[in-house]
Amino acid sequence: MYRTHPSTTQSGEFSVKFLVPLLIFITLATFLGIGLTLNPRDLPSTLIGKPAPEFSLAQLYKPEETISPADLKGQRWLLNVWASWCVGCRVEHPLLNELAEKTTITLLGLNYKDDPKNAIQWLSERGNPYGLIAKDLSGDAGIDWGVYGVPETFVIDEEGNVIYKHTGPISVKALNEEILPLFDKAAQANSVSSNSAGGK
Amino acid sequence: MNNHFYRVLTSKATRIAMLCLGLVLMASNNMSFAAIEEVRFEEAALEKRYQGLIAELRCLVCQNQNLADSDASLAKDLRKKTEDMLKAGKSDQEILSYMSDRYGEFVLYRPPFSLSNALLWVGPFVLLLLAATALLLNIRKRQRNEVLKSTYAKDESKHIKVRNLLNDAPSLRSEGDEKNSSDKPNKP
């Protein structure tokens, strides 16, 4: 009597216990799978929701004049950090040209640790989408903005707060789905379609 | 045996191979030192703090290296920033918070405990605790089973006696016992 009873419970427990490693494996695989799809270079910016760091830098085309973020207060604008030595900047440049052509959004360039001669040459070859360009020769402004992977793109609102950051070349998708919706309809005109190269 | 080893060691191919290995080692050694430019501090204590800080801060370009080991241009700039701030008399804490204000906690190899990273800090200990509890419960359960078995074994002889007594009193027998009792003769 007692011999049959314990054996049935044992087989019942066994099937449940058998599932435990499988469940642990599924949980682990799910988390690792999610981890694999994340971009480790895409760090959250500490600047989001905070006032844009100030700088007062000489302009690329007019070295005797300076430009600072304070000059742009009262409007929503884009800051694009770029350099002639940066490969990713070549990828996103056609998109910025198209943005400048199709919208009225103010686009400020921050020429990061570049030789002004090379920068001007680079723009004369590829077109200049920037309204104004600040020269950050030392890279100090870059450090204040937390720049670690050029190109980087920021959106600054009317009050002078940073509301968005994109690290790396902007893609058509990021531009249309994340950046342009931050601007009002009047400035957007029509969305950037870009069959002109862009993030390929 | 010895003679053979000597011959192998002095053979041309071996010597060339060893030379190559030496060159590779030298080159890699040079490379790892090339990252660090010479930084001079008046005080040895300041130099020590500098080395400590650049070992504590992550290079954001090559994310698995610290500032001390990285040859990236940003790492160079941040080392310079650290040096300047130290020379300006800033405290270690001020320098670390200067960096994390700009680049986030990710720049620190040992981020301070906060609600957002609590799981990261506490998680391993929680897992260890869970595993230890499971192990303890398992051991207890096994021990209890062992005790039950031994008491069962002791009682079995009495059990059989009782069964035999019951067999002698047919009026008290139930159906289940009948089956068991039919097994009896086979058991020693």
Please report which confidence band the pLDDT of residue A196 belongs to, taking 50, 70 and 90 as the band edges: very low
Among residues A89, A166, A156, A164, the alpha carbon closest in space to that of A129 is found at A89
Percent of chain B with pLDDT over 90: 18
Domain positions in chain B are 35-112, 114-165
Question: Among A148, A169, A166, which Cα is nearest to A92's?
Answer: A169
Helix residue ranges, H only, A38-153: 87-102, 116-126, 140-144
What is the C-alpha to C-alpha distance for residues A100 and A104, in angstroms, rounded to an integer?
7
pLDDT band at A33 (very low <50, low <70, confident <90, very high): very high
Domain ranges of chain A: 1-38, 41-188
Chain A CB within 8 Å of residue B176 CB: yes
Paired tokens of B56: 């504590």
pLDDT score of B49 more than 60:
yes
Do the Cβ atoms of B74 and A44 come within 8 Å? no
What integer pLDDT is reported at residue A193 of this predicted model? Answer: 54
Least confident of A40-49, A78-87, A143-152, A176-185: A40-49
How far apart (Å, rounded) are the C-alpha atoms in residues A40 and A167?
Answer: 11
Q: Is A82 on the interface with B (CB under 8 A)?
A: no
Cα A27 from chain centroid (whole Å): 31
Distance CA A95, CA B185 (A): 94
Interface test with B, best of A43, A138, A148, A162 (most B CBs within 10 A): A148
Q: In CATH, what number does A41-188 get? A: 3.40.30.10
pTM: 0.66
* Cα dist from A79 to A105, A165, B85, B132, whole Å: 11, 9, 28, 53
**CATH architecture classification, B35-112:** Orthogonal Bundle (1.10)
- The residue of chain B with its CA nearest to that of A52 is B102
Selecting from B78, B106, B180 the residue whose C-beta is nearest the C-beta of A43 gives B106
ipTM of the complex: 0.72
Residue type, B143: Q
Tell me how many residue pairs between chain A and chain B have CB atoms under 8 A apart.
Answer: 36
Q: Residues A57-79: pLDDT tens digits?
A: 999 888 899 999 998 888 899 99
Please check whether residue A57 is in contact with residue A66, taking contact to mean a CB–CB distance below 8 angstroms.
yes
Give the pLDDT band (50/70/90) at residue B138.
Answer: very high
